[in-house]
Chains A and B, each alone.
Chain A
């Protein structure tokens, strides 16, 4: 704990751990680069209908497999569709899968984990053994079964990925809640007559937001990768809609003749993943309470 000597004269308005953490975050160059890159990319994808030079599904066979040039800056695929446009539209799918599935996993994981952690004992044992069982279930088979039994849809894709990703979140949240539950300020809150409801919402949940946010930023790329993987296998988004996974698969088929079809979607995905991971790492360093006590 640092005691600033000038405290006696000029007292700064309180700096929360959040503010201090964000200050440290702003010093991380890679994270800043990642945030800016992501911001631009997301903006481009969101604005795709306005700025895309072509339609993402209109085929123009006379311009098939054009290399990057002045009319198609990233070239075209064998069906003559503009790759830049398809990447933008594919990004919309990839980002929305990433965000929605992560949101599902955070929601379920936080509720499940905090329940198990707060109540402990038998409830905890039962809930966490269920998580263990779900962990052991092979993901690909799970998704294939889902796809066979239900209609293929984006919603199902969100649900399937979210259903797998919440498991780790639940474990993290449970561990956090358990360690915070035994800290003295929770005892103090109980000793001062606070209700359980107030203790959970005012004292426990704010204390786990750091780890939850950090893990979410690391979940988003994992989910996007899963979506790409499923689309690559043909289990995800269906043509003519595009996602980065689909574009990479199509690019991989013609890799030797038309390498740009693989390079550009691959770049978009990997740079996004890098950026998200940089941000996640920086957040972890910035929000970790241990690093604030230097």
Chain B
């Protein structure tokens, strides 16, 4: 059963948003545009400002300066702060935020009050939403009678039942175990696209971000570092922070030996490895080489192979992930279908396509 798609998705434009808590700038002259009907994930570590941003969009926080537009409507600006209930949005909270004195059905129904529907239509939509998240038989249950995953499903049903033009997700999966996270992630992805709303989702988990997003925005210290499609973020990170935060299995410091187009040969002691770089580099520069997990594999020989010793091995079902130590540091997530014993001497091949060089900081 799918929900009817009658949503008028809106473009969200945030310009110069600033929010300070005392000396700390949670948002610092922040700009962001989210296209209507797209699913944007804002990715960043703790303290990067992503929660402040999504709460400002919801109207729970008030910006110090800057503007927010939903479509043509200015909802936050100089001296203007539209109340949350007037923004026509819905939100899924990290801690579910279900009201414990209401049943699951009443929780979902609450979000329809603003639509002024007649009782039969309201009931139909509530049951439809609960059915869509697989909880049609648990509408009469109170939140304490539901598991964590079920509670978050009710919160999801509550968010979509009113067919808001904007859906906000505040780290909705972070309180759930791995299996539930994956299942609920799929539900969020399909349900949100089904109703066609503009979606903004915040997380600190890069795998969640890549799995869900049409676009990913990476935040750091209240500033947007890069916003692009997931593939672009992964292949061409704008800076070292974006690269590091979107998944690496190790990093080494070396010197640029030679340059050709977008490639750099980096000398790591006696070994040269080839990397990609979108940065301005010169021969002799000190660089940090960031290695994506998909870049590494065991090899028998090769001039650019790194000699290493296996420190640890972990069985992952499809095969084995190894942690190896070489002269320049540790590399994790070296995948092989056969395990290599701890303490074995090995050669590691590094694929230049998934290996990125950035000028060393300082």
A and B associate in one complex: no
Residues of chain B touching chain A, judged by Cβ–Cβ distance below 8 Å, are: none
Residues of chain A touching chain B, judged by Cβ–Cβ distance below 8 Å, are: none
